[in-house]
Amino acid sequence: MKISLFVTCLCDSVYPGVAEAMVRLLGKFGVQLDFPQVQTCCGQPAFNSGYWDAARESAKTLLAAFDDSDFVISPSGSCTGMIHHYYPELFADDPAMLEKAERLKAKTYEFTQFLVGVLGIEDVGAAFPHKVTFHPSCHGSRLLGVKDEPTALLSRVKGMELVPLPFAEDCCGFGGTFAVKMSEISGAMVSEKVDHILETEAEVLVGMDMGCLLNIAGNLRYRGKPVRVMHIAELLYEGVMSREGSSRQHG
């Protein structure tokens, strides 16, 4: 069975450690991830800006890259949501490409969706003795419907205090090109989001989409607040390694 990693633009260029954590964590459960070198952007920035022809060209490259994969796993609910909801729309007038888009849609999963829904794993064996709050990204939770999987995984991390984030469902203001086109509104939204994060007194903010994490981390740095911002794959893998290290010390 060929299980492939769809790395996404932000992961590749800004958060490569997220991909590494995913690969290493899944490897502990016997999943060896393939990485097609020809993969590129899913086309979401162009699609959201109205450049559908450009988005189609990016989508075609991705369809070819994963054509022979049995599963495609991504660390981003946003990019996975693009494939699930908008690829069929992009190729609605092209039956041959639409069929390929539907095949990719059926086998593409966000990281926690695959871990919980496909592998049936909720306890990865992690220990993370910190106070943590969770931000559910808009595209992951609303567009893709990934709501219970992240909290199922986080709630089973040993020693971790998971505290509710007030108004967690509110957008952080990133929204891809929205943050550029309407920067003042976006800035106000992320400031409000960070206010709520600080209310929790959490040491760590964890999420499942790197656009949100980038936006939130930037506001926290601007304010000089020492809250650590992590992707859920990073937290789980760090927790697994910490617990394994502790077991070796006591063994």
Which amino acid does the sequence have at 205? L
The pLDDT of 9-20, averaged and rounded, is: 95
Based on the domain organization, do 25 and 96 belong to the same domain? yes
157, 159, 171, 247: which is closest to 209 by C-alpha? 171
188, 226, 189, 233: which is closest to 207 by C-alpha? 233
CATH number at 141 reads: 3.40.50
Based on the domain organization, do 56 and 8 belong to the same domain? yes
Residues contacting 242, CB < 8 A, separation 6+ = 126, 127, 128
Say if 124 falls within a structural domain: no
Based on the domain organization, do 136 and 246 belong to the same domain? yes
Q: What share of the chain is helix, strand, coil (3-state, %, to 5)?
A: 55, 10, 35
The pLDDT of 195-210, averaged and rounded, is: 97
d(CA 243, CA 87): 41
Give the per-residue pLDDT at 250. 62
Give the per-residue pLDDT at 78. 92
Say if 229 falls within a structural domain: yes
Say if 123 falls within a structural domain: no
Based on the domain organization, do 230 and 163 belong to the same domain? yes
Tens digits of residue pLDDT in 97-149? 999 999 999 999 999 999 999 999 999 999 999 999 999 999 889 889 899 99
Asked if 153 contacts 116 with a C-beta cutoff of 8 angstroms, the reply is yes
Say if 126 falls within a structural domain: no
Give the per-residue pLDDT at 139. 86
Based on the domain organization, do 13 and 38 belong to the same domain? yes
Give the total number of structural domains in the chain: 2
Based on the domain organization, do 151 and 44 belong to the same domain? no
pLDDT band at 236 (very low <50, low <70, confident <90, very high): very high
Of 71, 86, 118, which marks where a domain is finished? 118
Asked if 21 contacts 237 with a C-beta cutoff of 8 angstroms, the reply is yes
pLDDT band at 248 (very low <50, low <70, confident <90, very high): low
Say if 234 falls within a structural domain: yes
Based on the domain organization, do 9 and 105 belong to the same domain? yes
Asked if 206 contacts 184 with a C-beta cutoff of 8 angstroms, the reply is no
The parent domain of residue 14 ranges over 3-118
Of 75, 90, 118, which marks where a domain is finished? 118
75, 98, 88, 103: which is closest to 237 by C-alpha? 75
Asked if 126 contacts 234 with a C-beta cutoff of 8 angstroms, the reply is no
Based on the domain organization, do 166 and 225 belong to the same domain? yes
d(CA 165, CA 162): 9
Of 118, 145, 170, which marks where a domain is finished? 118
Of the listed ranges 1-10, 26-35, 54-63, 134-143, the one predicted with least confidence: 134-143
The CA distances from residue 65 to 39, 74, 92, in Å, are 5, 14, 20
Of the listed ranges 76-80, 208-212, 224-228, 245-249, the one predicted with least confidence: 245-249
Based on the domain organization, do 218 and 147 belong to the same domain? yes
Say if 39 falls within a structural domain: yes
DSSP 109: E
